[in-house]
Amino acid sequence: MTPIEVSLVLAGVLVLLVIIGVRVAFACAIIGLAGLFIIFAFDKGMGVERGFWITLKIAGQIPHSKTASNVLGLIPTFILIGYLAYYAGLTGKLFEAAKRWAGWVPGGLAVATVFATAGFAAVSGASVATSAVFARIAIPEMLKEGYNKAFAAGVVAAGGTLASLIPPSAILVIYAIITESSVGQLLLAGFVPGLVSAFIYASLISGMAWFKPSLGPPVSGFTWKERFEALPGSFPIFAVVGIIIICIYGGYGTPTEAGALGAFVVFVVALAQGMKWEQLKGALMEAAKLSAMIFTMIWGVLIYVRYLGFADLPGAFAAWISTLEQSPMITLMLILGAYVILGMFMDAIGMLLLTLPVTFPAVIALNGGLGVTAEEAALGMTADEISIWFGIIVVKMAELCLITPPIGLNCFVVAGVRDDISVQQVFRGASPFFIADVITVGVLIAFPGIVLWLPRLLTG
């Protein structure tokens, strides 16, 4: 068998391991080690013993060299910002402000939840953290007002996915590392698509509640004075967002330094709000747990990615894509369709880590290769712009993984926080948002300027 054929067989084994329940990090590490051993021991003729030691050397060096990068320091700082904001009570104040301003529309509390999760996503890099926080804050409020239980849970699970797109986003950082794209431009590019996605969610909620009022009645009775009184409590969150943006795009620091500064600012605000030691300890522990999970996944997948590089599967796939006769857009649709299927069996970060080494070169190949001009590009963008645009598209596709059965992580998180709501109810409540996400992806594909406008404005 050729290295490519061996790679395809091992990829099938990897998918099988994931389906039967092996953690993505461990499944990727096992297959990566097996593949490297086969290449060095047999394909390169180095023998079993030497091939074994070379495999171990590569497996030990690559994860360390990649994760020692300063760029990955963004992930724990962004996650810490979110948990500090929650334990300091800033999240509850943000939800209260959203409730007073948006509660009057059909499904008002659910709409307020979406906008509050979007605001919280701007200081939290993790969808799981966002869903867990608002399962504690928003669902009790919605149930108290007579909202349908499954609908309320689905709104929180779907709203939590916005943290994948609205920066600071851990998934966008991981995408940037794998594809060697600009972290700053990717983070900037996520703002407008994230807001578009939030407004599409809100429109869907209001439409559903308007046709079926029992899903979520509006909440009225707030005076203009009460609405304006609720705004100051949300200012610290938006101040942190402003500080991060100014730090990165004003040239005052790197994205990693901006994340650290943002965490420090939220920490100071939390102390001023009277945060106790137990609350600080809880924020630090939760951030450490989630960061450790993400880094473990990165380590395992990087071993597999290095094997793919030796086998040249990404290059072969890109070359094959470039020979296809159908339009680049149809090929792109097929790639995104594959993400929908994979998302049913894998978590978002694992799916991107696993697939990007193959799909990213293929998408660049659709554009005629690196270094082309916008006039020469089949997709109408330069190679760097395609990298940014595809990053936002693929991260939005990854959001689908968080709410689609059977692996939808956000749904399991919401069900885990709320003992009175089953995971089946959460999946049922989140299912309409799949349609909203498909619409959002369609809009971003049809109008790439939505993604590229802000990066072009501030960095062009």
CA 407 distance to own-chain centroid: 15
How large is the average pLDDT for residues 222-251?
83
pLDDT of residue 206 exceeding 80, the answer is yes
Neighbouring residues of 459: CB distance < 8 A, sequence distance ≥ 6: 184, 185, 188, 249
Asked if residues 187 and 172 have their Cβ atoms less than 8 Å apart, the reply is yes
Could you report the per-residue pLDDT of 310-324, keeping only the tens digit for each? 777 666 666 666 666
pLDDT of residue 80 exceeding 50, the answer is yes
**Among all chains, which residue has been given the structure tokens 């998934």?**
171
Both ends of the chain: CA-CA distance in Å?
49
pLDDT of residue 460 exceeding 50, the answer is yes
**Among all chains, which residue has been given the structure tokens 């595809």?**
390
The pair of structure tokens assigned to 355 is 């697939």
Distance CA 159, CA 39 (A): 44
- Using the 8-state DSSP alphabet, how is residue 40 labeled? I
pLDDT of residue 368 exceeding 60, the answer is no
Asked if residues 311 and 361 have their Cβ atoms less than 8 Å apart, the reply is no
Asked if residues 175 and 75 have their Cβ atoms less than 8 Å apart, the reply is no
Asked if residues 28 and 306 have their Cβ atoms less than 8 Å apart, the reply is no
**What percent of the chain is modeled with pLDDT above 90?**
15
Q: What is the pLDDT of residue 333?
A: 85
Asked if residues 425 and 174 have their Cβ atoms less than 8 Å apart, the reply is no
Please tell me the least confidently modeled range out of 156-165, 234-243, 288-297, 360-369.
360-369
| Helix axes 277-311 and 24-38, enclosed angle (nearest 10) | 30
Q: What is the pLDDT of residue 459?
A: 63
Distance CA 160, CA 420 (A): 19
Q: What is the pLDDT of residue 112?
A: 92
pLDDT of residue 371 exceeding 50, the answer is no
Distance CA 263, CA 280 (A): 12
The pair of structure tokens assigned to 55 is 């495999």
Q: What is the pLDDT of residue 318?
A: 60
DSSP reduced 3-state for 275: coil
pLDDT of residue 285 exceeding 70, the answer is yes
Distance CA 415, CA 420 (A): 8
DSSP reduced 3-state for 342: helix
Q: Let me know how long the chain is.
A: 460
Asked if residues 259 and 168 have their Cβ atoms less than 8 Å apart, the reply is yes
Assign 3-class secondary structure to 371-434: CCCCCCCCCCCCHHHHHHHHHHHHHHHHHHHCCCCCCCHHHHHHHHHCCCCCHHHHHHHHCHHH
DSSP reduced 3-state for 222: coil
Q: How confident is the model at residue 17 (pLDDT cuts 50, 70, 90)?
A: confident
- Using the 8-state DSSP alphabet, how is residue 234 labeled? G
What's the whole-number average pLDDT of the chain? 82
HSE-up of 256 (CA within 13 Å, CB side)?
6
Q: How confident is the model at residue 120 (pLDDT cuts 50, 70, 90)?
A: confident
